[in-house]
Amino acid sequence: MTGLAVVPAEPAARQDASRIPVDWPIVGPLGASLICLPISRAATSLAWMALAAVMVWRATRRELRIPREMTFGIACWLITWAISIGGSPDPLGTARAWWAAASMAVPVLAVGARRDHGPLPRVVEAVWITSTLLLGVWVVVELRLGLHWLSGRYGRLSYPMMPNPNTAAQYLLLLFAWAFAGALGGRRASWWRHLAWVGAAALLAATLTRAVWPAYVAVAGFCSWRARRPIMGLAAAAAFLAGNWILPWSLWARATEPGVTNSVQFLGRLQGWVVALRMFAWRPFTGEGLGAWRQAYAVLRSPGFPVDWPHAHQFYLHVLAEAGFLGLLGFGVFLLWTFRSVWRRGWRGPDALPEELGMTAALLGTALVALVDMTWVGEPGYAFLALAAFALGRRG
């Protein structure tokens, strides 16, 4: 009978990893980027520029050792996406998409290349938890309860200062996976991790974002199963239902909304998927071109479809439409191969660290959300990859 290291037992691997001193030139900018992601893109870019500067400085001192699997994974991803650039009718959209992809690679390279950067400091984790929970409260109060307390005083705040509920829910799901896995560490678990996963669960229910409901169940069930603590799984379900009491009618109303014929969220997604499949059928290998979704959608949409639809609202179909089969394959190789040691230990390793278990659960949940929404190509995706790279380097 095999146990999991995130329960009271403290294996040698976990003890050794916990004694590694914090590498502040890496962990500091990483923590700043996590804190700033829901608030300011400019501040996040500055944090990633700091990570890039640390990489260059250490490369000049010959202190940077990028693992082969990381180099191979990122190369597969970026090369396959670059192939699609030639066919794009929108150079500006292509430039933005390429800059976004390069930005996603920076924290992965900077954090994952250093295999002994130490744990995430408590102060950084606490501020990140606080900022993410406040984001969820903001969305619930402003949009779901309709109070418009801040926007009524300071004007209508636009994204990213006022993200949509789907984006906020993805942040909360990532926080829930991270904190819930940490809370399964028994008596040594920090009290703020318990508060974090309870708060994230309640706010996930209150945001009324149906896309994350199956993902939430999968994350909670997977972590409880791996740690052999079913009581925690029941507690996670209770926290979600308690959060629904904020809006007592919300759960049933949202669950039955697909039956409403005028549901924009439901019909619009179906129409976006139809157009994405048309793009993929037209150019199956290289796609319409990175960043070319809006132009291609305007040409291929059917009468009666929305005039403008920002993306496919399905990550896999969107990548197939813009970058083709090669682009989706390249990103899959990057995601699964680069972090394979994290997924392997989180899925079945007997000595998994809380970070490894949490990110494996987050991978499962994010993959489910990607079936009905965009995930890895937005700000929540940046946070996911940064934390995955952090978990990759926790063993030393």
Residue pLDDT, tens place only, 120-150: 788 888 888 888 898 888 887 776 666 555 5
Whole-angstrom CA distances from 174 to 154, 281, 314, 387 are 30, 33, 18, 9
Question: What are 285-303's pLDDT values in tens digits?
Answer: 888 888 888 888 888 888 8
Q: What is the pTM of this model?
A: 0.86
Confidence bin at 8 (pLDDT 50/70/90): very low
Is residue 162 pLDDT above 90, yes or no?
no
Residue with tokens 């990633």: 48
* pLDDT, greater one: 363 or 127: 363
State how far the Cα of 376 lies from the Cα of 25, in Å rounded to an integer.
Answer: 25
116 confidence band (pLDDT: 50, 70, 90):
low
Q: Which position has the higher pLDDT, 228 or 308?
A: 228
Residue of 325 and 310 predicted with greater confidence: 325
Tens digits of residue pLDDT in 189-200: 677 888 899 999
Q: What is the 3-state secondary structure (H, E, C) of 333-368?
A: HHHHHHCHHHHHHHHHCCCCCHHHHHHHHHHHHHHH
pLDDT at 293: 86
Alpha-carbon span 49 to 29, nearest angstrom: 9
Neighbours of 43 (CB within 10 A): 14
Ramachandran category for residue 11: left, alpha or beta (phi over 0 → left; psi -120 to 50 → alpha)? beta
Least confident of 2-16, 51-65, 113-127: 2-16
pLDDT for residue 178: 93
Confidence of residue 4 (pLDDT cuts 50, 70, 90): very low
Say how far apart CA 374 and CA 146 lie, in whole Å. Answer: 25
Contacts of 38 (CB under 8 A, 6+ apart): 131, 132, 135, 160, 163, 168, 171, 379
Angle at 339 between CA 359 and CA 358, to 5 degrees: 10
| More confident position, 3 or 251 | 251
| 3-7, 230-234, 238-242: segment of lowest average pLDDT | 3-7
Rounded CA-CA distance 329/303 in Å is 32
